[in-house]
Structure 1
Amino acid sequence: MTYGKFAYLYDELMKDVPYVKWVELVKVHVSKYHPNGKGLLDLACGTGELSVKFAEEGFDVTGVDLSEDMLMVAQAKAANKGINVQFYQQNMAELEGLGQFDVIGIFCDSLNYLQSEQDVKNTFSRVYKHLDDQGLFIFDVHSIHKMMQIFMNQTFALSDEEISYIWHSYQGEHPNSVEHDLSFFVLDHGSGQYERYDELHFQRTFPIDTYVNWLKDTGFEVLEVTADFEAVSPKTQSERIFFTCRKL
């Protein structure tokens, strides 16, 4: 799965995403658990929206993404704001050579794009190796409820003057997985006509206990498991699950 044209539409389509809530969550946990410094690795950073916001909050940020197109958008965004963020193209399941960090995050359910159990385990292992002792690993995933009850066999649509889309979600190959079939219609101001772009995105999640066991097997201390940006335990209807872990 690649992002292609979607990388250049992403910020417009995601303009209502509450990025500030991720920033505040990280700040709260840094204040609470006191890692040694403010070096932050933003894995699957996408167009760099969170990377830039973290840098504006005083973190020393490095961003990593698999998509070259996403990184081009991210680099331009940081440069336009005069913000120093280093960006690298890597697969988070094969992360290497970036040094040590005080905080590593995988935000906006990006971990759900990994297609196998082994990829998730490899990512946890690579994160562990890139964290300083007492460093924090913070990530969020879609709940099984969201995958199977909200996404599954649903169609979502947006009709706007500049960008419209039709988004079909259906059962993926694996348990608790969804494939998102996306068609975008983007206005070409030169011709006055709409261009169509199609992409297929895959997401997969796992039970909370499975993530916790994999984290502990990697060597992490699991500090908190919460839901939906609140300091509360996940419930049956929770949609987004947050994990806060520490390297011992």
Structure 2
Amino acid sequence: MGFSKLAQVYSRFNDESAYFDWITFVEQSLDKRPYTLLDLACGTGVLTEMMGALADEIIGIDLSPEMIFQAQETLVHPYSNVSFRVADMTQSSAYQWVEGYDVITCFLDSLCFLEDETQLSQTFHQVYQHLSERGQFLFDVWTPYHIRYGFNGFEYFDYDESTALLWESYPTEALEEIVVEHDLTLFIQKNGNLYERTNITLVERSYPLEVYMHHLTEAGFAQDDIQVYVNHGREIYDPSRHHETPRWFFRCYK
């Protein structure tokens, strides 16, 4: 799993100031203060921790033990209501700690890293089954447009005093799914002028909006209880005006 290798530098090369847009989306979506919030694919837990003031109990889960280790190590704010655990969001065992969650989140295009529609469907089914009545599922995904055009020719380079990152992306298309392969090269300083090189490949995929709607309704969500937004929840999605939007933001009620 590429994220295991990336865990130690993941937060270092992310613009965490942008996370406030996701916090605003959550705040605007909440009808009342939730007792329990489950954050799927939480990574190193920065966004999970930022949501610490929004619910009585928050659990962040991730498939990568290395990511969860980093999350636990860097939990600095005095939120005793935030905890982290290793779990697979496609499986029922990932939801076992609370009988019914008031809010379940999955942000930063994490669902796009699932391997296929089967895993996407499994996740939606597990989320629906483990939400409380009128609980909310909040998530975002890259749009096919952005994967096809936004990542076309994408290159990124960054470095600090001990690490350098080279990132190149290559979009492709296969049947209904639009796929982008991210090739990352890390150089991490070990001793003196000695650097260790690590190559990581991450794959993301997105689907037409009707595919997401199909799997959500198949999981149990009523179509009238699924709302799709753009611009971090600031506008309702209008395909005639937002055909170039990079992300869809979903708000789903059970």
2:218 is the alignment partner of 1:217: yes
CA contact (8 A) 2:156 2:166 kept: yes
Residue ranges of structure 1 left out of the alignment (5+ in a row): none
> Once structures 1 and 2 are overlaid, which stretch shifts more, 12-21 or 155-164?
155-164
Q: Measured at CA, do residues 11 and 121 of structure 1 come closer, stay the same or move farther in structure 2, by a change above 3 Å? A: same
| Map 1:93-112 → 2, pairs under 5 A | 93-96=90-93, 97-99=96-98, 100-112=100-112
CA contact (8 A) 2:36 2:101 kept: yes
| Map 1:52-131 → 2, pairs under 5 A | 52-78=49-75, 80-84=76-80, 85-96=82-93, 97-99=96-98, 100-131=100-131
2:245 is the alignment partner of 1:238: yes
CA contact (8 A) 1:55 1:61 kept: yes
Residue ranges of structure 2 left out of the alignment (5+ in a row): none
- Give the TM-score taking structure 1 as reference length: 0.90
User: How far 1:54 sits from its partner (Å)?
Assistant: 1.0
* CA displacement 1:20-72 (0-9 Å, x = unmatched): 111111111113xx48x331000001001111111133441011100000000
15, 36, 40: which one aligns with 2:37:
40
Q: 2:155 corresponds to which residue?
A: 155
> Once structures 1 and 2 are overlaid, which stretch shifts more, 41-50 or 166-175?
166-175
Q: Measured at CA, do residues 26 and 16 of structure 1 come closer, stay the same or move farther in structure 2, by a change above 3 Å? A: closer
RMSD: 1.9
Paired with 1:132 and 1:166, the residues of 2 have a C-alpha distance of 43
SS at structure 2 position matched to 1:179: strand
* CA displacement 1:97-136 (0-9 Å, x = unmatched): 2322100000000000001101000000000111001000
Identical amino acids, percent of aligned pairs: 31
CA contact (8 A) 1:112 1:203 kept: yes
Q: 1:20 corresponds to which residue?
A: 20
CA contact (8 A) 1:105 1:139 kept: yes
User: How far 1:82 sits from its partner (Å)?
Assistant: 3.3
* CA displacement 1:140-168 (0-9 Å, x = unmatched): 00011110001134332224444322212
Paired with 2:87 and 2:55, the residues of 1 have a C-alpha distance of 24
